[in-house]
């Protein structure tokens, strides 16, 4: 479905933020993308969504190269944009319509899909934002914004979901819903998170981008979660000090629900 080879990306001000990253993702595969802050996860998802283009290396989708030139061709661009959906890390970067309704309807209208109203209502209800449909998105809470963005992505029924920290603003019930939804869905997914407890529920395979911007792990998630050294080295876990009963202890932490 997705083949990335030797991807490099550099921002002028920053230098290389991806330094030779490559992997394949099969149809229906659920992959979790891990890495410390600034390692390049969001940049990688934007490349996979065809919003940024690698400075070196190649990316192909269903066997076809995804390049600026390819996306100038109407048929390919239309199919690719419809089939590959990206949920941005920052909901404010996605929301630009005057109402929640229009926000969710935007994609279906853009692609001329049938049953726009039905799609909007279904996804708004599924994500629990149906009572907000008439409101401007910028009045919503952080979690509501994230749900509206997710509803907008799902309303066009993409085959590939690229979700950049989708649960960062969500409460436990909504997070649980998303985990179940992804598990039951046949869609190919790539999800980033800093929550290691959640990572194991979001997919079976993980790739880790190191602080050197290279791929430092690609494989099943279970063994990685047991490898404390690897987690510390990738800055996915840290050690800090606590006091218990007046005694100082050093603990390892993933800083999520454990
Ligand atoms: N538009 C941009 N212009 C310049 N530098 C950028 C731009 N976007 C990102 N960067 C830089 O590229 C690096 C990688 O950013 P990216 O957002 O891909 O990291 P990330 O792994 O998603 O981090 P986080 O866990 O904080 O979301 C960071 O150092 C960031 O400051
Ligand atoms: Mg990011």
Domain of 105, CATH number, reads 3.40.50.300
Ligand 1: which residue has its CA nearest to atom 1?
11
Alpha helical stretches, state H, the chain? 41-48, 74-83, 100-110, 116-126, 142-154, 172-184, 196-202, 221-226, 228-233
Distance separating the N- and C-terminal Cα atoms of the chain? 35
The domain in which residue 111 lies consists of 2-254
What are φ and ψ of residue 115, in 5° steps?
A: 65, 50
Output the six-digit token pair for 185. Answer: 């869905």
Q: How confident is the model at residue 77 (pLDDT cuts 50, 70, 90)?
A: very high
CA 191 to ligand 2 center in whole angstroms: 11
Q: Is 37 in the pocket of ligand 1 (CB under 6 A)?
A: yes
Q: Is 43 in the pocket of ligand 1 (CB under 6 A)?
A: yes
CA 212 to ligand 1 center in whole angstroms: 13
Q: How confident is the model at residue 257 (pLDDT cuts 50, 70, 90)?
A: very low
Q: Do 252 and 228 form a contact (C-beta atoms < 8 A)?
A: yes
Q: How confident is the model at residue 197 (pLDDT cuts 50, 70, 90)?
A: confident
Among 18-27, 143-152, 164-173, 220-229, which stretch is predicted with the lowest mean pLDDT?
220-229
> What's the angle, vertex CA 175, arms to CA 171 and CA 181, rounded to 5?
150
CA 247 to ligand 2 center in whole angstroms: 37
**Number of domains composing the chain:** 1
Given the structure tokens 């992505």, which residue do they identify? 153
Output the six-digit token pair for 223. Answer: 């063994």
What are φ and ψ of residue 208, in 5° steps?
A: -120, 130
What is the share, in percent, of the chain residues with pLDDT greater than 70?
A: 95
Alpha carbons within 13 angstroms on the beta-carbon side of residue 120 total 19
| pLDDT at residue 251 in the model | 63
Mean pLDDT for all residues in the chain: 93
- The Cα–Cα gap between 142 and 144 comes to 5
Q: Any idea which ligand is nearest the CA of 46?
A: 1
| pLDDT at residue 230 in the model | 86
Q: Is 132 helix (H, G, I), strand (E, B) or coil?
A: helix
- Stated pTM of the model: 0.93
């Amino acid at each position: 479905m997705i083949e990335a080879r030797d991807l490099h990306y550099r921002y002028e001000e920053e230098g290389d933020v991806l330094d030779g990253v490559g992997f394949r993702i099969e149809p229906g595969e659920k992959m979790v993308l891990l890495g410390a802050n600034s390692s390049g996860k969001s940049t990688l998802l934007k490349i996979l969504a065809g919003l940024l283009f690698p400075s070196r290396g190649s990316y192909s989708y269903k066997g076809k190269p995804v390049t600026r030139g390819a996306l100038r061709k109407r048929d390919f661009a239309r199919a690719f944009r419809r089939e590959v959906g990206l949920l941005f890390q920052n909901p404010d970067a996605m929301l630009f319509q005057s109402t929640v309704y229009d926000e969710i309807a935007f994609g279906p209208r853009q692609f001329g899909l049938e049953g726009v109203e039905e799609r909007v209502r279904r996804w708004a209800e599924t994500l629990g934002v149906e009572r907000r449909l008439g409101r401007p998105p910028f009045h919503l809470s952080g979690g509501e914004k994230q749900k509206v963005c997710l509803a907008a992505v799902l309303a066009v029924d993409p085959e590939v979901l690229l979700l950049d920290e989708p649960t960062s603003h969500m409460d436990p019930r909504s997070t649980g819903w998303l985990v179940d939804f992804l598990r039951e869905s046949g869609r190919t997914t790539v999800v980033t998170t800093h929550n290691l407890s959640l990572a194991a529920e979001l997919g079976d395979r993980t790739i880790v981008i190191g602080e050197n911007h290279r791929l430092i792990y690609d494989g099943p998630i279970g063994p990685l979660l047991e490898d404390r050294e690897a987690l510390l080295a990738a800055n996915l876990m840290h050690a800090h000090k606590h006091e218990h009963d007046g005694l100082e202890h050093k603990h390892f932490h993933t800083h999520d629900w454990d």
